[in-house]
Amino acid sequence: MSELISLLMPSLFETLYMVLVSMIFTILLGLPLGITLVVTDKNHILPNSVLNIVLSYIINITRSLPFIILMLAIIPFTRLVVGTTIGTTAAIVPLVVAATPFFARIVETSLKEVDYGVIEASIAMGASPFQIIAKVLLPEAMPSLVLGITITLISILGYSAMAGVVGGGGLGDLAVRYGYHRFQTDVMVATVVVLIIIVQITQSIGNKLSKILSKK
């Protein structure tokens, strides 16, 4: 048992590191992207159809690529960013590239749920577009955004198992190495159980937080 734990622990930390760092960069990139998608719509506060259409296309194309292909395709880019193409840190690059457009769409959906009447009221009060984004759109969409972050986090966890197989480390890698190649079913099962627990915890924290934030 303790052997199993000492086997699992490093992989668990690798996974958590990969997922959390990826999530941070995904939010940093995906949130502005999602906001831009919404506000540049022709019926929104900063209409710009060219930017809107171009962004939308890029996002759709990135999202069409299967993660495994995307990961291989951007190897030169990964090397450029982190200096290497193997290891946990290197896995973060394709994870962020894959999760950002996904998260941007989720942000878009959340922000579109904000009643446009409230935005109009803010315009009538003399709010600037930046004030509307920061003080109206984001706070009003926050409960929904938190759920979106939860979903994205769980998706990144799923991708991270795949990234692990090609040298990223983490729980996915462990499961494949021990469970699949060495037929140690107990390691495989233990890994899956840990993954299930992470997903459960993430989802319930997300749900709770969203509920606390929601004043509707």
Partner 1 sequence: MINIINLSKTYQKENNTVEALKNINMKINKGSIHGIIGFSGAGKSSLIRCINRLEEPTNGEIWIDGINLMELNRDQLRKMRKRIGMIFQSFNLLSSKTVFDNIAFPLRLSKVPESTVKEKVHSLLELVGLKDKEKAYPSMLSGGQKQRVGIARALANDPDVLLCDEATSALDPKTTKQILHLLKDINNSLGITIVVVTHEMEVIKEICDYVTILEDGEIIEEGSTTRIFSDPRNETTMHFVGSNHELPKEFKKGKVLYLSFIGDSAGKPIISKLIKEFDIEVNILSGNIEYIGGKPIGKLTVEVDTDCSKIPEVISYLENNNVKVEVIK
User: How far is it, in rounded angstroms, from Cα 119 to Cα 14?
Assistant: 43
Is position 136 an interface residue for partner 1 (rule: CB under 8 A)? yes
| Interface mask toward partner 1 for 94-123; x: CB under 8 A | ---------------------x-xx-xxxx
Is position 125 an interface residue for partner 1 (rule: CB under 8 A)? yes
Is position 127 an interface residue for partner 1 (rule: CB under 8 A)? yes
Is position 49 an interface residue for partner 1 (rule: CB under 8 A)? no
Residues in binding contact with partner 1, number by CB under 8 A: 21
Determine which residue in the list 4, 21, 142, 166 makes contact with partner 1, applying CB under 8 A: 142
Is 213 in contact with 142 (CB distance < 8 Å)?
yes
The one-letter amino acid at 204: S
User: How far is it, in rounded angstroms, from Cα 111 to Cα 133?
Assistant: 10
Determine which residue in the list 128, 200, 204, 207 makes contact with partner 1, applying CB under 8 A: 128
Determine which residue in the list 1, 6, 76, 124 makes contact with partner 1, applying CB under 8 A: 124
Is 130 in contact with 74 (CB distance < 8 Å)?
no
CA–CA–CA angle 60, 141, 203 (5° rounding): 80
Determine which residue in the list 79, 135, 208, 211 makes contact with partner 1, applying CB under 8 A: 135
Separation in Å, CA 90 to CA 21, 22, 80, 86, 191: 11, 11, 10, 5, 22
Q: Sign of dihedral through CA atoms 67, 69, 72, 75?
A: negative
Q: Which is nearer to partner 1, 83 or 117 (CB)?
A: 117
Supply the minimum distance, in Å, between the C-beta of residue 27 and partner 1.
19
Token reading at 32 = 């502005």
Q: Which is nearer to partner 1, 118 or 197 (CB)?
A: 118
Q: Which is nearer to partner 1, 181 or 215 (CB)?
A: 215
Token reading at 110 = 């959340």
Chain centroid to Cα 158, Å, comes to: 11
Is position 131 an interface residue for partner 1 (rule: CB under 8 A)? yes
- Which residues of this chain interact with partner 1, rule CB under 8 A? 115, 117-118, 120-128, 131, 135-136, 139-140, 142, 213, 215-216
